[in-house]
Chain A
Amino acid sequence: SQTIHQWPATLVQPVGSPLSLECTVEGTSNPNLYWYRQAAGRGLQLLFYSVGIGQISSEVPQNLSASRPQDRQFILSSKKLLLSDSGFYLCAWSAFPGGSNQPQHFGDGTRLSIL
């Protein structure tokens, strides 16, 4: 069966520091991968998605970036964190080729607090 790993679970970072969050998927090949951010009490905001190695689509202009160095690895990065980057970061995957009927499955998330 497929599993998705996301780490760390919690992270406290000072303003202006760099960020690297990692997500890996097991048990499937060539998945679609996603990064979402959820502010407290809010819905999910799609940040990036990828349909293949090196293919990244950015949804929201910001100081974050994403990379997919390997088929089942998705990394979210920032060179300088802002206070507004605080939130719950979720990685998700869906099967490829997806067609229109493939659901997304989420990792356990990283709770990021910026001080």
Chain B
Amino acid sequence: GQQVMQIPQYQHVQEGEDFTTYCNSSTTLSNIQWYKQRPGGHPVFLIQLVKSGEVKKQKRLTFQFGEAKKNSSLHITATQTTDVGTYFCAGGSGGGSNYKLTFGKGTLLTVNP
């Protein structure tokens, strides 16, 4: 079945440093989504990418979808303590009633003030 892998599993940075997490799928995706889960919280939707090579920005966050629609990345510029949490990618595949999201295991980001 489809697998979605994320690296790194953990990342600790000093406040102000940049952070990147990478997501790779074993199959071509129809879209990729990113979620953030704060400690003790539940996953919250951040963004969806659909087009090959798509790049989207949300303030200090930059999301990319690979040309082959099998990989994606999330880059945070100048991290802040409020960025702490686990970032999950989720790959969408299939169509119609077969459409499904498969989550990666996430990257836990901790930020030292």
The answer to whether A and B assemble together is no
